[in-house]
Amino acid sequence: MLGVCQRYARNAADAEDILQDAFIKVFDKIHQFKSEGSFEGWIRRIMVNTALKKYSLRRYEKEVSGYDQHEKDDRALEPAAYGQLTEKDLLSLINGLPDGYRLIFNLYVIEGYQHDEIADMLHIQPGTSRSQLVKARHMLQKQILALQKIAV
C-alpha cells in the first residue's frame, strides 16, 4: 500500500503520512467491510481517498505547470525512448508532474477510474479530468523526449 501512497505523494514523508492516516481509517472502519470484493481493493480505495483528501485539487488548479498548450513538438517520439525507461524512471517522471495532473493521471491510468468517477471524487467536472489527463500525458511525452535527447 505504500506504493499506492507514493504515487500520490510528493515525497516519501508525505507517502508515509498518508499510509499511516489511511491505516488508522482501515482499523477504525474494519467493521464496515462487507466481504464484497477483495479486502485489498477495499484498503486500496481508502488509501487513494486519504491521499486525495490530503491533496485537494482546488489547490493545484492555480499551480503553474510550465506547459504551454500551444507549444508543439513535431518530432515523433521514438519507440526506443519508451524501451529505455525503467519502472523507477517512469514513476519518477509521474511524480514530477504538477499535483493536479499527477492525481488525475494516477486515478485514470493506474487505478482505472473513469472520468465521471474521478470528477465525483475530486468535486470537479468530468471535462476538467479529461483536460488534466491530456496535459499530463503531453507533459510526460515532453519529459521523455528530453531524456531521449540527453541519452543521445
The per-residue pLDDT for range 33-57, each reduced to its tens digit, is: 988 889 999 999 999 999 888 876 5
Q: Which of residues 59 and 29 earns the better pLDDT score?
A: 29
Those residues with Cβ within 8 angstroms of residue 61's Cβ, 6 or more apart along the chain or in another chain: 100
Question: Confidence band (pLDDT; 50, 70, 90) for 144?
Answer: confident
Helix (H, G, I), strand (E, B) or coil at 66: coil
Give the mean model confidence (pLDDT) for residues 22-34.
93
Q: How far is 1 from 44, CA to CA, in rounded Å?
A: 7
- pTM of the complete model: 0.68
> What pLDDT shows up at residue 147?
77
Task: Extract long-range pairs of 40-43: CB within 8 Å, 24+ residues apart.
Answer: 43/1
Q: What is the architecture, at CATH level 2, of domain 65-152?
A: Orthogonal Bundle (1.10)
- The pLDDT-based confidence of 83 (bands split at 50, 70, 90) is low
Give the contacts of 5 (CB within 8 A, at least 6 positions apart).
15, 16, 18, 19, 22, 47, 51
- Burial grade of 10 (CB within 10 A; 0-12, 13-18, 19 or more): middle
The CATH number assigned to the domain with range 1-54 reads 1.10.1740.10
- The CA R_g of the chain, rounded to the nearest whole Å, is 17
Q: What is the pLDDT of residue 17?
A: 92
Q: Where are the domains of the chain?
A: 1-54, 65-152
d(CA 98, CA 134): 13
